Structures are given as structure tokens and as C-alpha cells.
Amino acid sequence: MKLLIMGRPGAGKGTQAVNIREYYNIPHISTGDIFRANLKEKTKLGLLAKEYMDKGQLVPDSLTNDLVKDRLSQADCKNGFLLDGFPRNIAQAQALDEFLKENNEALDAVLDIDVKPEVLIDRIVGRRVCKNCGATYHIKNNPPKQEGICDKCGGELMQRADDTYDTAYSRLKVYDEQTAPLLDYYRGQHLLKSVNGDQDFAKVFEDIKKVLAK
Ligand code: ADP
Ligand code: AMP
């Protein structure tokens, strides 16, 4: 299964990606996670990406497209993948289409997790992530059993540097201006499958399985 997962920042893409990865047995490729891992290692790419991420802006396509192509060329993506956070504009979508065409591959579906903008700021600023295993929590909607500690691995929970009010507003604006046009792009290719992301975590995943089975 070759999938994209789309949705506004905070819609629940990363949360549902974990379920999808396990259920369909496909690698989860998040460009945001790749940039953050690079930043942790202080690579040139990570330090460059940080300048854009801190402002809630998109990292330039020239860096992002090559990174995704390299990742999709790895053996574990041959039978499927779930791309999360890419593409984020039309140029990235065209680069992905070109890459897939060159490799005689095609997407099976583009999932859109639809959440009304009003709840997203709260989801973003309340998000906590495990420093060790990357598991995602929310201080109100999905709190860990023990405050600040990951249920899964006991690691320390942290807040992402870009999960502030100011940056969240910029990211939502960038989504509306640059990423939202992709919904029509993929609707035109008859790939778009929307799911209501403003429901309980488990119900969102039930709906994802249903739309993917159609
Ligand atoms: P994205 O990857 O789309 O930015 P995340 O999956 O990281 O979003 O979710 C953002 C925040 O919202 C997290 O703190 C997560 O726990 C919470 N969240 C995700 N899905 C739901 C949901 N269905 N209901 C309530 N909160 C949710
Ligand atoms: P995310 O983890 O998807 O919320 O992304 C966090 C940040 O990483 C974004 O606000 C961008 O600065 C950067 N980023 C992630 N994916 C992309 C992409 N496909 N294109 C450009 N920038 C990206």
C-alpha cells in the first residue's frame, strides 16, 4: 500500500500513522521527523532546516525533494510506504509524481485527516513527544499515566520547539496557502479519501481502515 497522509498541523497524522504502519506493515516516513532527527545529530541539513522550522515555514523544496526520493529508494519502501508531511506544496507533489512514474509506481490513496481549525492550536501546544521513542501524547486528550514520562519506554517527554502559539499560527497559515491546494490536486487524480479527525482516536482509525478498504 502506497499512501500519503495529509491534514492540517495537529490533525493527528503522526498519531494515526503509528496505527497505519502497524496494521498495514509499511514504513512511516515523516519529513518533519527526518528534519528533527538531523537537528538532534546537528547535521548540516538539520541546522539549515531549523531556521525554517522555528518560523513555521517550509524547508526549501531543493532539500526536501531529494531527501524523500532517497528515502523512497530504500528497499523497505518497495512494497509500500506511508508518507507523512510530504508533499506540502504543488511543486513537491509534482516531484513525487515524477519520481513514482520513473519507477513505474503509483499511489494507492491519499488520506486527508480533516479537523476544523479551531481545535488545532490547543492540540499543537498541548502535544508532548517522547525524547527517546518519539511516542506522541497530549496533556489533556491523551496524557501519559505519569506526568512527563513515556508510558511505552519510560523516556522523558518534551515539547517540540515549534509547538508554540506563534509558530502554530504560521504553520496553519502556510498550510492554507501552500498545502491545502493539494486536496484538489489529488481529488483530480481520484485518490483523495477524507476522514473526520475530530473524533476519538480509535474511531478515526476505524474510519481510516474503512475508507482504505473501499
Ligand atoms: P500531526 O502529526 O497531524 O501534526 P499529531 O498526531 O502529532 O498531529 O497530533 C497532534 C496532537 O493532537 C497530539 O498531542 C495528539 O495526542 C493529539 N491528537 C491526535 N489525534 C487526536 C484526536 N483524535 N483527538 C484528540 N486529540 C488528538
Ligand atoms: P511536521 O513534523 O510535519 O509538523 O513538520 C514540522 C516542520 O518541518 C514544518 O513546519 C516545516 O518547517 C518542516 N517540514 C516538514 N515537512 C516538510 C516538507 N515536506 N516541506 C517543507 N518543510 C517541511
pLDDT digits (tens, 9 = 90+) for 143-155: 999 999 999 999 9
Average pLDDT value for residue range 134-162:
97
Please report how many Cα atoms fall inside a 13 Å half-sphere around the Cα of residue 115, on the Cβ side.
25
d(CA 50, CA 47): 5
- What is the CB neighbour count within 10 angstroms for residue 156? 12
Whether 88 is a known active-site residue: answer yes
Q: What is the mean pLDDT of the chain?
A: 97
The predicted model gives 191-213 an average pLDDT of: 98
Q: Quick one: pLDDT at residue 214?
A: 85
The reply to whether 127 belongs to the active site is: yes
**Residue range 31-63, pLDDT digits in tens:** 999 999 999 999 999 999 999 999 999 999 999
Q: Tell me the residue length of the chain.
A: 214
Write the DSSP string, 178-194: IITHHHHHHHHTT-EEE
Read off the pLDDT of residues 107-130 as tens digits, 9 standing for 90 and up.
Answer: 999 999 999 999 999 999 999 999
Residue 207 reports pLDDT greater than 90 = yes
* Distance (Å) from CA 105 to ligand 1 centroid: 30
Mean pLDDT of 13-28: 97
pLDDT reported for residue 112: 98
- Asked if 89 and 58 count as a contact pair (C-beta separation under 8 A), the reply is yes
Give the chain's domains with CATH numbers: 2-115+192-213 (3.40.50.300)
Annotation marks residue 21 as catalytic: no
pTM listed for this prediction:
0.96
Ligand 2 centroid–CA 53 distance in Å is 7
C-alpha cell at 104: 513505474
152 residue type, one letter: K
State the amino acid at position 112 in one-letter form. D
| pLDDT score at 36 | 95
pLDDT, residue 213, reads 96
Q: Which atom of ligand 2 is nearest the CA belonging to 32?
A: 2
Mean pLDDT to the nearest integer, 3-27: 98
- Which pLDDT does position 210 carry in this prediction? 98
Segment 175-185 shows an average pLDDT of 98
